[in-house]
Structure formats: C-alpha cells, structure tokens
Chain A
Amino acid sequence: MNAVSLILMNFRRKRIRKILTVCSFAVALFLFGILAIIYDAFYLPIEIAGADRLVVQNKISLIMPLPYSYRGKLKQIDGIDLVSYGSWFGGVYQDERNFFVQFAVDTETWNDMFPEFIIPPEQWKAFVEDRQGCIAGQNLVERYGWKIGDRIPLKGTIHQGIWEFNLRGVFQGKRASDDTSQFWFQYKYLDEKSDLMRGYVGWYYVHVSDPGRAEAISDEIDDMFANSPYETVTETEKAWTAAFIRQFGNIKVLLMSVGGVVFFTLLLITGSNMAMSIRERTGEIGIMKTLGFGGKRILFMVLAESLIIALAGGGIGLFMAKLFAMQGDPTGGFLPVFYLSSRNILLGLSISVLIGLAAGIIPAVQSMRLRIVDALRRV
C-alpha cells in the first residue's frame, strides 16, 4: 500500500454514490463536449477565416447580386492580387433534409483563393474540363457515399429545374476545422443554364497582398461603387463570417448560459457528495491524524479523491462526446464542422479539475482543521 492506493481504497465505500457522482460528471462533460462542438461549428469559421481575404457583397443584402463587370474594376485596385467570385445555388439533393452548401465558383481563381482546401491537380483539371463537373468535400462524399464519376442530380430551388453534375474531385481540408461539406461547380454552367444570374455573381472574394491594408482597400472598393445601382459592402472574411453567424442570434450567450447552469448544478451535486462523504469519515480522519497523518496530508488526500472523481467522470463524458462527434453532424448538414477539438478536450478536463477542486476544497479544509479530540468524539 502507498499514498495513492490509500486514496483509491476510499472508492471501495459507498460505491453507488461514487458511481452516480462520476456519472453526473460524465453527463455534464458530455454536454460540455456537445456545446463546445456546436460553439466551434458556429465560431470556428470566424477564427480560421483568412485575414488576407475580403468579401465584397451587395450593400442591400447578400442575396442581391453584383455585376460580373465589377471583376475587372476590382483587379485594378492597388493591393489586390486576386479576385474570385461565387454564387449560392440552393439545390436539393434527393430530399430537402439533405442540406449542404452549394457554390457556383470561378474555376480560374477559386483554387488559388482557398489554398486551405487540398485537391489533387488531376482532379481539379478534370473538373475544369467538364462544364457539368463538380467537386465535393470529403465530409460530403462520406455522408452520401459518393465516388468520383458519380452523376449527382440537384433540384434547383432558386434556379429551377434538375441540374446534373459529374463528380470530378474530392477536396480535403488542411485543418480539422476546415469545412469539407461543401459542393462546388462551375460558374459558367450556372451562367449558361440560368437566366437569373446571367451577367451577375453572388459576391466577390478579394485577396489582398498586405492584410494590414485590408480596411483601407475595403473603403476604396466601397467608395468606387458608391452611388451606383449596385453599391457594395466590403469586409474581411472574418468580419463577414461573424456577421453571417450573428443572423442566428447570440449563440455564444445561449451556449454559455446552458453550460453555466450545468456546471453550477454539477458543483452543487459534487460538493454536497464530497461533504457527505467526508462527514461520514470524520472519525477515520481523526484516527489517521492520531496515527500521525498531518493536516496537509489529509487535505491532499481529500482533494485528490475529489479530483479523481472529477477526472474520471470528465474523461468518460469527453470520451463519449468525442465518439458522438466521430459519427458526424447529426443535423443533416446544418453544422458542417462537427468535431471535438483537442483544445476543447483540454478545456473540459480543466473545468473538471476546477470543479473537482472547488467541490473538494471545503471538506478538505474542514478535514485539515478538524481537531482530533472532536473527531474521536464522533466515532
């Protein structure tokens, strides 16, 4: 027997209560994991958005188009080294519940504009050479079991009719947080087949050579098209993504409120369990002190017990959340980036440790201060 096994021996008593406490930790940390995944799904795109990319959209609304002719004008602005464009398609694959993002993209510039997406060159070449070609992200391909060469029909909701595409490539993300649930096809195909967007694009992406000048260039762009029928609003991709996410409401406050309530409840449960557990062992603590176990050693043992419960429960909960995340987005595409990051696992474990310490500190200090004669009277 040693100090560690002595602490572990205490898990032999009141096993059901200990298991339930561990379970309450596990449930809370599982919930934390899910909230963290949802949080990341909304806010990670803001974090990873390129600081050197600007989004130019119609000042009225994102759904209003911009003239294709702006492309040439944007290229002439000093500090802009690449201009690309895209447009929302909004098609339905088999069933309306099968939601995923579909963009009509400029094949000449898109690949250079988004280097975070990795596409084998021969697949990109095949895509460019096929007017009905399309490229899908790894996540999307796995979700629907597609393989290169498959014919993929989409029912247009904005652009009416059945649109058929040939899957020519699959892209991966360089980071786990890159959204690989997108579907790209040639802008030229959209331009040819639909009258709705002929001569127009949804928005422009602009790459600036010096991110430090992003604000000045944004102003220059908007000034250039001021007082025209198609005025623009230009923002960094980060600000644009943030504004887009704000449309859903204050997700951050919602998630934090739910998380806060859960953890406060957990603290009460664990704290009262620890207090009960230590109160029941007052006599034993008195005996251990009698035998020569000092106050600090007792404090350490009680805190260690609380921490073991917290870490065991937290670890199980986070592991379950990780397993859940590995099954993929359960919302059918609403949360395209659905994974539990190492950062959040560490954060979850840190929260477990903090709650374990907070729950254990009062009984631990009480045990440390407990007078032996008082403890022995309670035996």
Chain B
Amino acid sequence: MVHVNGDNKSDSLIQVRSLFKTYTRGNESIEVLKNLNLDIDRGEFVAFMGPSGSGKTTLLNLIGGLDLPTSGSIVVDNDEITGISGSKLTDWRARHVGFIFQLYNLIPVLTAFQNVELPLLLTGLSKAQRRDHVEAALSIVGLEDRMHHFPRQLSGGQEQRTAIARAIVSDPTFLLCDEPTGDLDRTSANEILELLSRLVEDFNKTILMVTHDPAAACQAHITLHLEKGVLIESSKVVCE
C-alpha cells in the first residue's frame, strides 16, 4: 500500500514525515519539497510524475540517502536515515539501495561483468561468490552472453539492463529509478519496464521510479504526482 497523508501507523518499508527541502542560491531560498508525507510498503512499484522542477528527483535523492532534507524524517526498514551521516550513510546506501539512472552511468573502462561487480567490492564476498552473484544478476536481466562486453559495445537497452543488474546484484531493500527509460527507444523502454515489473513480481522488490513517460508509469502499481514540491494525488495510470 501507498499513503500520502502521513497518518498511516503501519510498519511501511518507507515512511516519510513532514519532509522539507530548501535550496539556497545567494539570498534566494527555493523550497523544493514542502511538508511531504509518504508511506510505501514492501513490494510496491511506485511511479512519481510531475513537471520538471517539481521535486521528483530531489525526493528520490533524499529517500536514497544521497542528500539530506532541510527538515523532516525518512525511515527505511526501521532505519531513520535522516539521522545518519557520513560513512554510515554510505554503508547504509550500499546495503539497502539500488540506483538506476536515465543515462545508465556505467563505468566505460569496465566490462558489463565488472560494472555489475563494482558494488560487491565493498562487501566481504570472495571472488568466487562475487562471480556467482554477478552471473546471477546478469542472468536475470538476460545479459549473460554480454558480460565481457564494454558499455560502448552494448546497445542503450543492454546498458540499462546492465545498470539494473548492478542495482540488484547486492540484493538491496529497494530500487530507485530516475527516468530509467528516458534515453531509450520504445521497444527497449518496454523491455526495461517489463524487467522492472518482473523484479517486483518475482523477487518482491520495492521500486520507486521517477518518470515523465505515462507508458512507463502505467507499469507501476500506483503513480504519485508531484507539483511544486507537494504530493497532490495518487492514481493508477492505465496502460493504453
């Protein structure tokens, strides 16, 4: 279930309370998120839509521990992440969050295998264990035959699938996707969205996705609209 009114008392995976984020440029303060409340249960696939500058990516960054709120709290899996800082937050992020970006953001000098292996270098896994995890992740995204290719040797869709494999290889608590299909053609975008849906259905992953694309949003269980820093409604976008 997903709630945006902040009065939910359940043990939701993600609980956002009275969240504010204000950026300051010179003398000017820009309030990006205003008193935002949100509860998301495990296994949900949530899409965030809204115009540019509405605060979608900022919300994602805050939930993912990439940025700190001006005020308010974010609790993920019973961890109050707004109270964590520095290296502990980095460790928390490595354990709990998988990130998928619009531009894939693979390291160009590493093969698909090595890109996926990257987060595992921070774990205590042996080389053999890492190999098993990487192969399993690449197999889930259907790239086991491309594992030794460099990003430049892959199509956009394949690059994004590699990025998804990298995001899931350490079995994070939830995935954050920032316009994962924004740089792909329709066919590749549909493949990625199907893959994300499968991660939710087959592996009970929780996914929060920012998108401008209604076709992408329709794959989600629910779509939340952000406008001027406020979550104004929730609905299910129907696929055409």
Residues of A within 8 A of B (CB): 1-3, 6, 9-10, 12-13, 283-284, 287-296, 371-373, 376, 379
A9, A290, A295, A379, most chain B CB atoms within 10 A:
A290
Does any Cβ of A come within 8 Å of B238's Cβ?
A: no
Cβ–Cβ < 8 Å partners of A289 in chain B: 90
Are A291 and B118 in contact (CB-based, < 8 A)?
yes
Q: Which residues of B contact A283 (CB under 8 A)?
A: 105
Contacting residues, chain A, for B61 (C-beta < 8 A): 372-373
Q: Are A291 and B66 in contact (CB under 8 A)?
A: no
Sorted nearest first, the 10 A-B pairs with minimum C-beta distance are A292-B94, A12-B109, A372-B66, A287-B105, A294-B90, A291-B119, A9-B109, A373-B67, A292-B122, A1-B114
Q: In the complex the two chains form, is A10's CB within 8 Å of B94's CB?
A: no
Known contacts A10-B109, A287-B107; is A372 also within 8 Å of B67 by CB?
Answer: yes
Give 6 new A-B contacts, CB below 8 A, not counting A1-B114, A284-B107, A290-B66.
A9-B107, A287-B99, A293-B90, A295-B90, A372-B61, A373-B66
B107 / chain A contacts, CB cutoff of 8 Å:
9, 284, 287-288
**B230 is an interface residue with CB less than 8 A from chain A:** no
Query: Which residues of A are found within 8 Å of B140, using beta-carbon distances?
Result: none
Chain B hits for A9, CB < 8 A: 107, 109-110, 114
Choose one: A3, A287, A290; the contact of B121 (CB below 8 Å).
A3
Asked if A13 and B108 sit within 8 Å, CB to CB, the answer is yes
Q: Which of A2, A289, A373 has the most CB of B within 10 A?
A: A373
Bound: A159/B196 CA distance, A: 99
How far apart sit A114 and B121, CA to CA, in the bound complex (Å)? 62
B117 at the interface (CB under 8 A from A): yes
B56 → chain A closest CB, angstroms: 13
The reply to whether the CB of B87 lies closer than 8 angstroms to some CB of chain A is yes
Given contacts A284-B107, A372-B67, contact A293 B101 (CB under 8 A): no
Decide if B110 touches A290 in the complex (CB within 8 Å).
Answer: no
Residue B93, interface by CB 8 Å: yes
Between B91, B101, B121, the greatest number of chain A beta carbons within 10 A of the residue's beta carbon is seen for B121
Q: Name the B residues within 8 Å of A1 (CB-CB).
A: 110, 114, 117-118, 121
Residue from B87, B103, B105, B121 within 8 A of A294 (CB atoms): B87
B interface residues with partner A (beta carbon < 8 Å) = 61, 64, 66-67, 87, 90-91, 93-95, 99, 101, 103, 105, 107-110, 114, 117-119, 121-122, 127, 166
A296 to B117, CA, bound (A): 20
What's the dominant secondary structure at chain B's contact region? helix
Distance of A146 Cα from B117 Cα, bound (Å): 66
A292 touches B117 (CB 8 A): no
Task: Give the A-B pair count, Cβ closer than 8 A.
Answer: 67
Q: Are B110 and A291 in contact (CB under 8 A)?
A: no
Q: How far is the CB of A185 from chain B (nearest CB, A)?
A: 67
Which residues of the other chain, A, contact B67 by a CB distance below 8 angstroms?
371-373
Give the docked Cα–Cα distance between A294 and B67 (Å).
Answer: 14
Q: Which of B87, B93, B95, B103 is in CB contact (< 8 Å) with A379?
A: B103
A305 to chain B, nearest CB (A): 12
Q: Pick 23 A–B contacts, CB within 8 A, sort by A.
A: A1-B110, A1-B117, A2-B127, A6-B110, A9-B107, A9-B110, A9-B114, A13-B109, A289-B90, A290-B64, A290-B66, A290-B99, A291-B94, A291-B122, A293-B90, A293-B122, A294-B91, A295-B87, A296-B87, A372-B66, A372-B67, A373-B67, A376-B101
Provide the residues of chain A in CB contact with B127, threshold 8 Å. 2
Task: Give Cα distance in the complex from A372 to B114, angstroms.
Answer: 22
- Measured CB to CB, the nearest residue on chain A to B167 is A291
Contact of B93 among A2, A292, A371, A373 (CB under 8 A): A292
* Residues of A with C-beta under 8 A to B117: 1
Q: Which B residues are in CB contact (< 8 Å) with A295?
A: 87, 90
- Nearest A residue to B61 via CB reads A373
Instruction: Given the known inter-chain contacts A373-B67, A376-B101, please indicate yes or no for A290 contacting B93, CB distance below 8 A.
Output: yes
Q: Bound state CA distance, A3 and B87, in angstroms?
A: 18
Contact A2 B101 (CB under 8 A): no
Q: Tell me the smallest distance from the CB of B22 to a CB of chain A, in Å.
A: 14
Most buried by B among A2, A13, A292, A376: A292
Q: Which residues of B contact A284 (CB under 8 A)?
A: 105, 107
Q: Give which listed residue, A13, A288, A294, A379, contacts B118 with CB less than 8 A.
A: A288
Q: Which of B107, B117, B127, B166 has the most CB of A within 10 A?
A: B107
* B114→A379 contact, CB < 8 A: no
Question: What separation, in Å, do the CA atoms of A373 and B109 have in the docked complex?
Answer: 23
Which residue in chain A gives the minimum CB-CB distance to B64?
A: A290
Complex CA distance for A287 and B91, rounded to whole angstroms: 14
Q: Which residues of A contact B108 (CB under 8 A)?
A: 13
- Give the Cβ gap from A292 to chain B, nearest Cβ, in Å: 2
Q: Are B90 and A292 in contact (CB under 8 A)?
A: yes
